[in-house]
Amino acid sequence: MDLLGQVANGFAVALTPVNLLYCFIGVFIGTLVGVLPGIGPISAMSLLLPVTLSGTPESGIIMMAGIYYGSMYGGSTTSILVNIPGEATSVVTCLDGHQMAKQGRAGPALGIAAFGSFIAGTAAVVGLMVIAPFLAGFAVAFGPAEMFSLMILGLVIVTFLTQGSMLKSLLMASAGVVLGLIGLDSITAQPRLTFDRIELYDGIGLVPVVMGLFGVAEVLTNIEQGVKRTITNTKISNLLPNKEDWQRSAGPIGRGTVLGFFLGIIPGGGAVIAAFASYALEKRISKTPERFGKGAIEGVAGPEAANNSAAGGAFIPLLTLGIPPNVVMALLLGAFVIHNIQPGPLLMVQRPDLFWGVITSMYIGNVMLLVLNLPLIGMWVQLLRLPYNILFPMILLFTVIGVFASSNNVFDLYVMLAFGLIGYLTRKLGYEAAPLVLAFVLGAIMENKLRTALIISAGDLTTFFKKPISAICLAIAAIMLLMPLIPQLRRKREAVALEDGNN
Amino acid sequence: MKSSGLRINNAELWGGAIWFAISLFVLEQGRRLGLGTVNAPGMGFMMFWLGIVMAALSLGIAVQAIKHEGPSVRALWTDTRWVKTLIVVVTFGLYGYAFISLGFLLSTIPLMLVLLRAIDPVRWSIAIPLAFGAPILVWWVLERLLQIQLPTGIFEIG
């Protein structure tokens, strides 16, 4: 069937009343968690992972995807009005967005963020539709060696881009792989590191690990530091940007869309780096770079477009290769696995309804988000006034419910608390959780691919270097690992390294 | 960064030491599970090599901690509200124990009350309705709408 026929089928799936409802719930919750600092798409998706069981796979995955790209929209509201990014992806929006709010231009800042997000989000879906089928055809040629090397590259990119010591990030990634190996061995079906606990035979659950490391640890850190927020007292009116605003923003939105989309595809890249890269690009090519940081609308339009576009691009490695490029996509992989569906090159052939249904739902979701984020902006602002001392018990309550509902097992509550403590302590010492979580998800798959590749090649270790794709991935990974050893390159890494906690 | 030499009260050094101990454990577990051969890798193959990588990385962190001045363990908690964090952790630990024996509602309502009052106290007029209302609402949604069974405890409430 041709592309248009597939798209039409996708719309037929996405436009069913139940899928429309799930899509709305997803983008609504996404906007909500994007607006609220301290709770992000990871926590929300972990919480709702069990809910996906109650419906069809399409409905659940449409909702989960909606939370992700919805949070990209919502994150800008807090950045502009409170100067606290709702999401890591919106950090850069604070720079000019909040300055605009202080100058009484909160309306146009919020407006251009929503319109830029809509344009970029929609364009990314078009890109996804065009590139994903092509890449899926190409990905069929990926054997275990290529898959292993690609996952190694993804992990190295994540460790490279996270803030602080690369040694620490690599250590966290290694620990993540070990944690991912707990449970029954995928080849021999023998238990590993289970210590005779039957709960560990299926491995440690993703939900309690993520909720602990991100949800509970975030709350513990915020309680310790005492979060205070001041909302800019500006009247939010005239959300529609004027002609001059549009003239200034058109270029940044276009460039941010293209840049974000391709950065989103790279494993380990994603929305955070896309937003920063877009800001740097706009500032560099601007004729008036001195305006940046003082309320330049380009500094809002570009990054907001880039992070939304990257959110769309990030679906490509998951849907075509079955490899999650970031933690959020790892959770989405979890949603697929819950329904016994393996995303990858064969997904388009085996489940075209699901594949195209999810993609086309993003068009609909983007329209819903525009409606949610412009006329209802006042509601989100009111939500920002919710004090943290009320918010954090609620977050903890939801983490408890999310974890228990996902497994119906109190053991997972202890796992969550343990990982909450681990996350809190490792943050104190400057260890980032993102590499651990991504490695945890990839760990068992990586090991399986490594062993399979070695068995197929009769123990020939050079198999990883003889295959071109595998060799290229490993070469890039090696270069990135060696970069911090060269002082000049180390400084460059520190300049781009990002706090990717909630990506 | 200044060179400080070997100082025991160095949080980074302790971090490296703990990671080193963990990596030795991983390495030993990998060895016990069986390395196999290169053409037929065993269950412990990857774990063993990961243990070695982790040991090398943790030694690197320890060496950096010795070479460069790192914060003391105490400094990590100076000027913070660590007591409040401790209260949450202990409360949450107790909650884990009470969850099954008392059931969802009887354990969650006191948990919420403690969290709302002990950290940054919320007015009683808000704390009490919220501590009762939120768990009851969650219970209703899960039990009645989503049909997810929550523990009822020895009193079979909920």
DSSP A217-247: HHHHHHHHH--------------S--HHHHH
Dihedral Cα A178, A179, A180, A183, nearest 10 deg? 100
Q: Is A51 in Cβ contact with B146 (below 8 Å)? A: yes
Answer with the residue of higher pLDDT: A483 or B61. B61
| Contact in structure between A37 and A499 (CB atoms under 8 Å) | no
Structural domain includes residue A233: no
Give the residue-averaged pLDDT of A341-346.
Answer: 81
Q: How does A458-495 read in b/e, with b if 16+ C-beta sit within 10 Å?
A: eeeeebbeebebbbebbeebeebeeebeeeeeeeeeee
B-interface mutation test, from A49, A178, A182, A460, most B Cβ less than 10 A away: A178
Q: Is A167 in Cβ contact with B57 (below 8 Å)? A: yes
SS (H, E, C) A394-434: HHHHHHHHHHHHHHCCCHHHHHHHHHHHHHHHHHHCCCCCH
Nearest chain B CA: its distance from A148 CA (Å): 12
A301 pLDDT more than 90: yes
- Residue A195 DSSP class: T
pLDDT tens per residue, range B33-51: 999 998 889 999 999 999 9
What pLDDT does residue A76 have?
Answer: 82
Average pLDDT score over chain B:
88
What pLDDT does residue A19 have?
Answer: 93
Q: How confident is the model at residue B23 (pLDDT cuts 50, 70, 90)?
A: very high
A285 pLDDT more than 50: yes
| Region of residue B69 (left: phi > 0; alpha: psi -120 to 50; beta: else) | beta
Rounded to whole angstroms, the Cα distance separating A324 from A318 reads 5
What pLDDT does residue A38 have?
Answer: 59
- Please tell me which of A183-197, A232-246, A348-362, B14-28 the model is most confident about, judged by mean pLDDT: B14-28
Tokens of A327: 């933690």
Quote ipTM for the complex. 0.91
Nearest chain B CA: its distance from A81 CA (Å): 24
Chain A: residue whose CA lies nearest to B39: A459
Structural domain includes residue A323: yes
What pLDDT does residue A495 have?
Answer: 59
Residue A114's alpha-carbon distances to A8, A110, A158, A301, A371, in angstroms, are 27, 6, 28, 9, 9
Interhelix angle A91-102/A57-82, nearest 10 degrees: 50
Q: Percent of chain A having pLDDT more than 90? A: 21
Q: Is A405 in Cβ contact with B142 (below 8 Å)? A: yes
| Contact in structure between A26 and A67 (CB atoms under 8 Å) | yes
Give the residue-averaged pLDDT of A247-274.
Answer: 85
| Contact in structure between A430 and A499 (CB atoms under 8 Å) | no
Q: Which of B33, B44, B89 sits opposite A421 (nearest CB)?
A: B89
Nearest chain B CA: its distance from A421 CA (Å): 8
Structural domain includes residue A232: no
Rounded to whole angstroms, the Cα distance separating A360 from A367 reads 12
The verdict on B146 touching A (C-beta cutoff 8 Å) is yes
What pLDDT does residue A229 have?
Answer: 59
Q: Which domain holds residue A358?
A: 3-227+240-496
E strand or H helix that includes residue B40 = strand B40-41
B105 pLDDT more than 70: yes
Q: Is A459 in Cβ contact with B39 (below 8 Å)? A: yes
3-state secondary structure of A191: strand
Give the residue-averaged pLDDT of A363-390.
Answer: 81
B-interface mutation test, from A184, A429, A445, most B Cβ less than 10 A away: A429
Chain A: residue whose CA lies nearest to B142: A405
Structural domain includes residue A265: yes
Domain boundaries, chain B: 11-77, 82-145
The verdict on B57 touching A (C-beta cutoff 8 Å) is yes
- Cβ contacts of A170 on chain B, cutoff 8 Å: 53, 57
Residue A342's alpha-carbon distances to A49, A336, A349, in angstroms, are 16, 6, 12
Give the residue-averaged pLDDT of B68-95.
Answer: 87
Count up the domains in chain A and report the number.
1
Rounded to whole angstroms, the Cα distance separating A33 from A309 reads 19
Nearest chain B CA: its distance from A461 CA (Å): 8
Q: Which of B12, B39, B126 sits opposite A454 (nearest CB)?
A: B39
* Range with the poorest average pLDDT among A41-55, A203-217, B57-71: A41-55
Answer with the residue of higher pLDDT: B20 or A370. B20
Tokens 């290229």 locate to: A472
Q: Which residues pair with A162 in a beta bridge?
A: A498
Q: Which of B58, B95, B148 sits opposite A405 (nearest CB)?
A: B148
What pLDDT does residue A452 have?
Answer: 92
Q: How confident is the model at residue A454 (pLDDT cuts 50, 70, 90)?
A: very high
- Cβ contacts of A420 on chain B, cutoff 8 Å: 89, 92
Structural domain includes residue A235: no
Give the residue-averaged pLDDT of A292-313.
Answer: 90
Nearest chain A CA: its distance from B120 CA (Å): 6
Q: How confident is the model at residue A499 (pLDDT cuts 50, 70, 90)?
A: very low
A270 pLDDT more than 80: no
What pLDDT does residue A232 have?
Answer: 59
- Cβ contacts of B100 on chain A, cutoff 8 Å: 410
**What number of CA atoms fall less than 13 Å from residue A10's CA on the CB side?**
23
Q: Is A447 in Cβ contact with B148 (below 8 Å)? A: no
pLDDT tens per residue, range A394-435: 888 888 887 887 778 889 999 999 999 999 999 888 898 888
A501 pLDDT more than 60: no
Q: Is A190 in Cβ contact with B43 (below 8 Å)? A: yes
B150 pLDDT more than 70: yes
Nearest chain B CA: its distance from A404 CA (Å): 8
Q: How many CB atoms lie within 10 A of CB A148?
A: 27
CA A94 to chain centre: 19
Chain A to chain B, count of Cβ pairs less than 8 Å apart?
145
| Contact in structure between B51 and B24 (CB atoms under 8 Å) | yes
| Contact in structure between A96 and A249 (CB atoms under 8 Å) | no
Q: Is B47 in Cβ contact with A181 (below 8 Å)? A: yes
What pLDDT does residue A496 have?
Answer: 55
Q: Which of B41, B89, B115 sits opposite A393 (nearest CB)?
A: B115
pLDDT tens per residue, range A84-127: 666 667 778 888 988 898 888 888 898 898 889 889 988 988 88
Rounded to whole angstroms, the Cα distance separating B124 from B112 reads 12
Q: How confident is the model at residue A79 (pLDDT cuts 50, 70, 90)?
A: confident
Answer with the residue of higher pLDDT: A280 or A256. A256
Average pLDDT score over chain A:
83
pLDDT tens per residue, range A173-183: 999 999 999 99
Q: How confident is the model at residue A456 (pLDDT cuts 50, 70, 90)?
A: very high
B6 pLDDT more than 80: no
Q: Is A192 in Cβ contact with B47 (below 8 Å)? A: yes
What pLDDT does residue A497 have?
Answer: 54
